Each structure stands twice: as structure tokens, then as C-alpha cells.
């Protein structure tokens, strides 16, 4: 079981930690998502935090910022995603954090898109009640309806 996992609203100081997490080349390869430069990263988060149609939570592990979990509306679907700093991988933190998020945010259906080779993330989603609903190109689509 993961140690003291808590979710809280994102605060500005978290963004610098998130920025560093998303610069990790191994994490970028795992997620098949390129790192943004600092200006682009901050602009993206500033824009998203200003909307009232998305939810942004910081994942705390033992009081330390471990990553984030977010949900947003896109193309008529409610999406969910998360990102953990690599030093927090493999400890059950993502599964616990996503479970906590799903208890707090009950809008369904909820959809996640994961690159096919990211087996760890697919497994986290499946442990949290998501099922595979299809594949497009190199992406697995998972959905949670309850």
C-alpha cells in the first residue's frame, strides 16, 4: 500500500515541480509525450487552471509533491490523466491517487488515452475500474462508466 497519499488543489508552487517532472526523458518516452519548454508549460497550466470546466489536483506522497491528476472535457467526453515524477513510480502511488480522485470526482463516463507501450499506466487504470474500449493508432482507450 502506498504511503500517505493525499490530493489537494494545485497551487502555483506545484507548477515548478510538475515542470521538472515532465522534463524527464524516460517519462516522456513512457508517455509518448514531448516535454514543453518552461514558457509553453506555464502558459498551458495557467490557461487550464483558469477554466472552470477542468479539475486539477496535486498528488502528495508523505507531504511531498509527487505529481498531478487532472480531468477535463474534450470533444464531448470527460477525460482523465495523471503524471508522476519518476522517483514515485512503482510504489502504488498512481493507483491510490487515481482511486482517491475517482471517489471525489464522480462524473461518468470518464475516458483515458494511453500509449500502447505504457503498460504500467494501463494497469493503474484497470485497477481503478477502467476497461479497454478500443485502440486507435498506438493508443489504448479506457473508460470507466460507474
In terms of residue numbers, what domain contains 95? 5-106
> Does the residue 99 lie in any domain?
yes
Residue 72 lies in a domain: yes
* 60 occurs within a structural domain: yes
Residue 7 pLDDT > 80: yes
Residue 84 included in any domain: yes
Q: Is 116 left (phi over 0), alpha (psi -120 to 50) or beta?
A: alpha
3-state secondary structure of 100: helix
| Domain-located, residue 115 | no
Alpha helices in the chain (DSSP H): 12-22, 25-31, 38-49, 93-104, 119-127
Condensed to tens digits (0 to 9), the pLDDT of residues 84-140 reads: 999 999 999 999 999 999 999 999 999 999 999 999 999 999 999 999 999 999 999
54 lies in some domain: yes
Q: How many domains does the chain have?
A: 1
Supply the CATH number for residue 70's domain: 3.40.630.30
Amino acid at each position: 500500500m502506498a504511503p500517505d497519499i493525499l490530493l489537494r488543489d494545485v497551487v502555483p508552487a506545484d507548477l515548478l515541480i510538475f515542470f521538472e517532472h515532465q522534463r524527464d526523458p524516460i517519462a516522456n518516452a513512457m508517455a509518448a509525450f514531448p516535454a514543453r519548454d518552461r514558457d509553453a508549460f506555464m502558459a498551458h497550466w495557467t490557461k487550464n487552471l483558469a477554466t472552470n470546466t477542468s479539475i486539477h489536483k496535486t498528488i502528495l506522497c508523505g507531504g511531498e509533491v509527487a505529481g498531478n491528476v487532472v480531468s477535463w472535457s474534450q470533444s464531448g467526453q470527460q477525460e482523465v490523466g495523471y503524471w508522476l515524477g519518476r522517483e514515485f513510480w512503482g510504489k502504488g502511488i498512481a493507483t491510490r491517487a487515481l482511486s482517491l480522485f475517482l471517489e471525489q470526482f464522480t462524473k461518468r463516463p470518464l475516458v483515458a488515452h494511453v500509449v500502447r507501450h505504457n503498460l504500467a499506466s494501463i494497469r493503474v487504470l484497470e485497477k481503478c475500474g477502467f476497461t479497454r474500449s478500443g485502440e486507435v493508432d498506438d493508443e489504448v482507450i479506457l473508460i470507466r462508466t460507474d
